[in-house]
Amino acid sequence: MAWSVGRATWVGDVTDPDIAQQVGTRTFDRGQAYAAERRVRSLATRPDGLMLLGTIEGSGSGEHQTTYQTIIEARPHPKGRSHLWSGRCSCPVGSDCKHVVALMLTARDVAHGVALGPPDEPEAVATDAAVAVQAVTALGRRARAHPATPGRRRGGADPPRAAR
């Protein structure tokens, strides 16, 4: 079954330079490699299209394989240009990490019509509402997510300049 971004059509307008500016070029490059390796295991969206939720395979292998719950939230740009976005993750970095980049790039590919879905493995996670709820719940517990406060630092990365 192919993934869909539903009403999150804004993700199709996000460019590589936009992402790299927000997360840094090194993080972008690492996240781009994760996306190319198809490490995104699930992709879901909130019905209003302003949140992407995913499960991303981290480093390690076998019993040492770790997966992370990742959320990208968007809001309309106050000047009408595309959307502002930020990502949170259950990984130690906590925000705007390589897992966020992998989710964003995968979602953008899906928005552009690339037929992607869960990897062809029996343990692949389905992209239904239950998975989305689990991802949000797990991220909230693990990353101690808080409502975004412009100009206030949380989770290891400063908010983007446009959001301040």
Q: What is the pLDDT along the chain (164 residues), one digit of tens a residue?
A: 567 888 888 999 899 999 999 999 999 999 999 999 999 999 999 999 999 999 999 887 777 779 999 999 998 877 776 788 999 999 999 999 999 999 999 999 998 887 666 665 434 344 444 455 555 555 554 444 333 334 444 444 444 444 44
Is 159 part of a structural domain of the chain? no
Q: What is the DSSP string of 121-151?
A: STTPPP-SHHHHHHHHHHHHHHH------TT
Is 111 part of a structural domain of the chain? yes
Is 152 part of a structural domain of the chain? no
Is 107 part of a structural domain of the chain? yes
What's the per-residue H, E or C state across 71-94? EEEEEECCCCCCEEEEEEECCCCC
Q: What residue numbers bound the domain in which 72 lies?
A: 9-144
Is 131 part of a structural domain of the chain? yes
Distance CA 108, CA 32 (A): 12
Contact 98, 31 (CB under 8 A): yes
Is 164 part of a structural domain of the chain? no
Is 78 part of a structural domain of the chain? yes
Is 3 part of a structural domain of the chain? no
Report the number of distinct structural domains present in the chain. Answer: 1
29, 32, 57 from 131: Cα distances, Å: 27, 24, 15
With 0.75 as the threshold, say if the pTM is over it: no
Distance CA 40, CA 148 (A): 25
